[in-house]
Structure 1
Amino acid sequence: MKKKIEDVEDIKVFVDEFYSRVQTDGLIGPVFMEAIADWEPHLQKMYAFWNAALFGVPGFRGNPFAKHAPLKIGQAHFERWLGLFYGTINERFEGDVAEDAKKRAELMASMFLIRLQQLNGNSDRVIV
């Protein structure tokens, strides 16, 4: 049964499920597994990120784009990331906040891809 995303506990459910899928994905899994040595701090940061993005709760600190700039990723990676994200949300949740999460993920993926293309392969020239 699907439910609405109502609080950080729901965010933990979708973040944990999403990153479980990411870790085993043939395309983006290796990128994440190489970049993240310890998953617990990453998951904690993602809980705070989505809690801030969806509910305006303070607590997220960081520059997500700067973390992604050095990675060898392109459009196919972002498409897969979105597919896994949408699949996770669609299987477990419904309602306005679930739709907002998908829209925010799509916007973030589009923005990151454009900015990575602007770097033109030069990860030393991070645009922040």
Structure 2
Amino acid sequence: MQHPTPQPPAAGHDGDSTTRHALDTSAANVPPEPRRAALAAALRQRTGLDEDVLRRMVESFYAQVRLDPDLGPIFAAHVADWPAHYAVMVDFWASVALLAGRYHRNALRAHKPLGLRSEHFDRWLQLFDATLQQHVTPQARSHLLDIARRIAGTLRQRLCPAVTPAHQNGGLHAITNDTHAAGSA
């Protein structure tokens, strides 16, 4: 099924600038826990994110995922308790976006049995970005989309290695691990 191409991030997006700004403006000589709390506060202030925003975002996103003809069947086959899944996903996004430290599961292991294909990650990012555009500030969108792209890239690389382009895996052929050599047979 064809889906629209996602829109680029908000103007001024330059990678993980929100996190980098928080790190750059926090005192390096502060002990780890107070520093994490200061970083989290800076991220909240800069992005407008908090637990309620993340909860609304997660619930809205998965409402769209459940209706999606490509992703919906995958989630329907693997998620029996949606409120519990929402709670785990809020913990996940609070941990990766706001340094909450509540998510302690293995995301790769959770996704491995799903039979995901490369295009599933593209569709996931499209729906996620559309949800972000509706529910969060441009700064939060930039921050969350940067994290989501890195996660999707890592999961895609680990779960779909046969479709990872050679330039993303160090020039090794995805199936044989041979290097690409022009004119070789």
Q: State TM-score, norm by structure 2.
A: 0.60
Match of 1:88 in 2: 131
Against the structure 1 CA distance between its residues 15 and 116, is the aligned structure 2 distance closer, same or farther, given a 3 Å change threshold? same
Match of 2:107 in 1: 64
Match of 2:81 in 1: 38
Instruction: State the superposition RMSD in angstroms.
Output: 1.6
Unpaired segments ≥5 residues, structure 2: 1-46, 164-185
1:1-128 pair list within 5 angstroms: 5-118=48-161
Match of 2:32 in 1: none
Contact 1:78-1:109 within 8 A present in 2 as well: yes
Identity, % of aligned positions: 27
1:19 aligned counterpart, secondary structure = helix
The number of equivalent residue pairs is 117
One-letter identity of the residue aligned with 2:85:
H
Higher relative contact order (CA 8 A, sep 6+): 1
Contact 2:118-2:156 within 8 A present in 1 as well: yes
Question: CA offset at residue 82 of structure 1?
Answer: 0.5
Provide the C-alpha distance between the structure 1 equivalents of 2:48 and 2:73, rounded to a whole number of angstroms. 29
Contact 1:5-1:98 within 8 A present in 2 as well: no
Unpaired segments ≥5 residues, structure 1: 121-128
Question: CA offset at residue 6 of structure 1?
Answer: 2.3
Contact 1:5-1:11 within 8 A present in 2 as well: no
Is the helix fraction higher in 1 or 2? 1
1:48 aligned counterpart, secondary structure = helix
Contact 1:8-1:51 within 8 A present in 2 as well: yes
Provide the C-alpha distance between the structure 1 equivalents of 2:100 and 2:115, rounded to a whole number of angstroms. 32
Question: CA offset at residue 119 of structure 1?
Answer: 8.6
Question: CA offset at residue 94 of structure 1?
Answer: 1.9
One-letter identity of the residue aligned with 2:102:
G
Q: State TM-score, norm by structure 1.
A: 0.85
1:70 aligned counterpart, secondary structure = helix
